[in-house]
Chain A
């Protein structure tokens, strides 16, 4: 491992760690105003939606995003599994099997 790789890993680790822990230290020592609690209460649903939708789109610099058709297709049975079972594990396994099948038949 070269020094270039090692220094990169250490510095990237440091900025990531700070992003993770500084908010904890700040919130611990701060009376959080009510509007901020209200604002932050939407983080879960907003960020999970954003992460999901990001996986359905493909970024092309300077153009409108494209659609990731294989992820969109595999999402349908996964969502159905969620509605039917309300089980996280069932959703994950259904989605993975759906994707494996898609690629097996050559649609992926």
Chain B
């Protein structure tokens, strides 16, 4: 990753994250297939909902015949972390038009958010719409394609996980987190490591009471407050 913020460099920078989309997308398509969802339904869900973990939940709830209101509420709760990420990244696009902002937000994901936060450490805290559009659009198309291929291959591959592809997402966040810690010079290393430790411990205790996705949201909010409290004031 370099300091360039062109459309082309957006394409290049997003490539390492695509393994994660492909791995999870294939798995989701296969699960959808075994849950008797049509290829069209999978494609529409990937294009309209476009959210990894939420789509797994939606499929399992559809299979169970859950009420639509319960599925929508679950989806909102799982994706409510997007609110935090969008608020965080929106500051870099305040000078761009509202339409640009809406377009950027529409396709933002955990991955392209984390990638952007790595990128600003190399660009003197600048982002450009064209760079994020490129990353977002490529990720969006690869996700939709992977879920459809997974659904079509559903009957052929019994266990996609034997190739370890399901770990691609975890690996990606390990990489992004590590790079974030070593390249973010706006905070001391000590402050960052303290936040990491705090959030990790908070996750363990919160998951005693809440499922992972809810614990994740609460731990993030607590972690931000903790970070403010322990960072040196100027």
Pair A48/B207 contact, Cβ less than 8 Å:
no
Pair B172/A92 contact, Cβ less than 8 Å:
yes
Pair B219/A46 contact, Cβ less than 8 Å:
yes
Bound-state Cα–Cα, A100 to B172, Å: 16
Pair B227/A95 contact, Cβ less than 8 Å:
no
- Contact of A23 with B208 at beta-carbon distance under 8 Å, contacts A1-B38, A96-B164, A100-B163 already known: no
Bound-state Cα–Cα, A59 to B86, Å: 27
Q: Which residue of B lies closest to A5 (CB)?
A: B41
A107 sits at the interface (CB 8 A) = no
Size of interface on B: residues with Cβ below 8 Å to A? 99
Shortest beta-carbon distance from A44 to chain B in Å: 4
Q: Which of A32-55 contact B (CB under 8 A)?
A: 32, 35, 37-55
Q: Which residue of A lies closest to B97 (CB)?
A: A28
B152 sits at the interface (CB 8 A) = no
Q: Which residue of A lies closest to B192 (CB)?
A: A45
B5 sits at the interface (CB 8 A) = no
Partner of B106, one of A4, A21, A101: A21
Pair A49/B200 contact, Cβ less than 8 Å:
yes
Pair A100/B208 contact, Cβ less than 8 Å:
no
Q: Which of B199-232 contact A (CB under 8 A)?
A: 199-200, 203-204, 207-208, 211-213, 215-216, 219-220, 223-228, 231
B contact patch SS: helix
A contact patch SS: helix
A89 sits at the interface (CB 8 A) = yes
Chain B residues in 8 Å Cβ range of A100: 162-164
Chain B residues in 8 Å Cβ range of A55: 169-170, 173
Pair B102/A5 contact, Cβ less than 8 Å:
no
Contact with B along A51-88 (1 / 0, CB 8 A): 11111010101011100000100110011001100111
Pair A19/B79 contact, Cβ less than 8 Å:
yes
- Contact of A20 with B81 at beta-carbon distance under 8 Å, contacts A86-B182, A92-B172, A96-B168 already known: no
Contact with A along B114-132 (1 / 0, CB 8 A): 1001000000000000000
Bound-state Cα–Cα, A6 to B161, Å: 29
Seed contacts A23-B83, A27-B94; 20 additional CB < 8 Å A-B pairs: A5-B62, A8-B58, A15-B79, A24-B90, A35-B228, A37-B91, A38-B231, A42-B195, A42-B223, A44-B117, A50-B223, A51-B110, A65-B207, A65-B208, A88-B172, A88-B176, A92-B17, A92-B172, A95-B164, A99-B164
Between-chain CB contacts (< 8 Å), 9 pairs = A5-B41, A16-B76, A24-B101, A27-B94, A53-B200, A53-B204, A54-B216, A96-B23, A97-B164
